[in-house]
Structure 1
Amino acid sequence: MVSATALPPYAVRLARPGEEDEICRVCRAGFTSSSTGLLPPDLVERQAQRYYDPARVRREITTAGADPAWQGYVVAITDDGRVLGAAGGGVLDRSRGQLYVIYLEAGLRGRGIGTALLDAVTEQQRQVGATEQWVSVTEGNSLGLPFYRARGFDVRDRVPYVDPDDLSVAGHSLRMGRAI
């Protein structure tokens, strides 16, 4: 973990092959931290393994942009290759962007990295014509909800968070949107 007093210099750019382990490290920790107490522990672990498997993330890096629905991972990365944060999204139709993931190291929250990542994904989506942006946030997520609200997102819907393995309702997600 990076010291809260020293923010290392970093660049925000598209992820490259070979960075999947670092992306998985950050995203797995972020997902687990933000979901603990909101979703069943076994579901959190299964989802973290499913979504942040290095082989899956490597494929997602190498296929980025082939389909506008997935524009790729954007990373905040230091000169020595340490991923401080990662985000990714796509455009579901001509006007609606979707932010699928955004996580950063816990010790770096509130230092502008999350905003820089969101801005990069937002710009990707604007470049292909998106005029609105959506994100799903687990209801009660005390890390994500204030972040999105501060950036102009508002709650548009509340939907069940369904466990993909047994189709049971494990909690709820808030669908948030904003104009971009």
Structure 2
Amino acid sequence: MLLADVRTAAPGDAAAISRLLAEALREDYAGLLGEMRVRRLVADHCSLPRIRAEIGIPGGAPAWLGWLVAADADGTVVGAVSGGVPLPAEGEVYALCTAPDRRRRGVGTALLAAVGERMRAQGAASQRITLPAEGAPALPFFTHHGFTALSPVRLGRSL
């Protein structure tokens, strides 16, 4: 896969983000959290109206820096990340997902770097993420990128 770019999400990307995020939650957490909790996570965080509304929020407000998407060379959205700086100097990754068939190809790394740059531009000196469960499949990805455990489900690193 040739990753063409990481860019700010546009309104037309909402369906792809919603689908990718729901797919990742179902695939990664069904065994850990159970079907009902995963359904609730998907309903709460992946609804198309919610994603559309979030894309429509102007970027630059520190608590919400928006959605970024990674697209391959033909323009297909293969990953997405959202984040903000809700506390002084502390960035928060709200969601990060990649298409299951595009994992381990640099998509997540590119998205994490791009959201980190936006956070630094808003004064963040550190970055945090809360995972949906202990033993989350994403844990090795984040520890590989310098995150350490702050609690069983919360990780952080310096930017």
The residue number in structure 2 matching 1:163 is none
Which structure has the bigger radius of gyration? 1
CA deviation profile, 1:123-173 (whole Å, cap 9, x unmatched) = 00000100010001221112x000000000000113xxxxxxxxxxxxxxx
Structure 2: distance between partners of 1:53 and 1:66:
23
CA deviation profile, 1:5-51 (whole Å, cap 9, x unmatched) = xx044210110011100111111101111211111211101211221
Give 5+ residue unaligned stretches, structure 2: none
1:64/1:73 contact within 8 Å kept: no
The residue number in structure 2 matching 1:54 is 48
- Of 74-83 and 100-109, more deviation after overlay is shown by 74-83
Q: How much does 1:70 deviate?
A: 1.3
2:85/2:119 contact within 8 Å kept: yes
For the residue of structure 1 that corresponds to 2:32, the secondary structure is coil
Structure 2: distance between partners of 1:10 and 1:48:
28
Equivalent residue for 1:103, pick from 91, 97, 100? 97
Structure 2: distance between partners of 1:54 and 1:81:
20
Greater fraction helix? 2
Equivalent residue for 1:83, pick from 60, 77, 80? 77
User: Does residue 175 of the first structure (1) align with residue 154 of the second (2)?
Assistant: yes
- Of 97-106 and 38-47, more deviation after overlay is shown by 38-47
User: Does residue 134 of the first structure (1) align with residue 113 of the second (2)?
Assistant: no
- Residue identity opposite 1:140 in structure 2: G
1:94/1:128 contact within 8 Å kept: no
Give 5+ residue unaligned stretches, structure 1: 1-6, 159-173
Pairwise CA RMSD of aligned residues?
A: 1.3
Q: How much does 1:80 deviate?
A: 4.3
Structure 1: distance between partners of 2:128 and 2:3:
29
| Identity across matched positions, percent | 37
The residue number in structure 1 matching 2:25 is 31
Q: Number of residues paired by the alignment?
A: 158
1:86/1:104 contact within 8 Å kept: yes
- Of 119-128 and 34-43, more deviation after overlay is shown by 34-43
Structure 1: distance between partners of 2:73 and 2:49:
24
- Residue identity opposite 2:18 in structure 1: C
TM-score, scaled to structure 1:
0.83
For the residue of structure 2 that corresponds to 1:67, the secondary structure is coil
Structure 1 stretches (4+) deviating beyond 6 angstroms?
A: none
> Alpha carbons of 1:45 and 1:79: their partners in 2 closer, same or farther (altered >3 Å)?
same
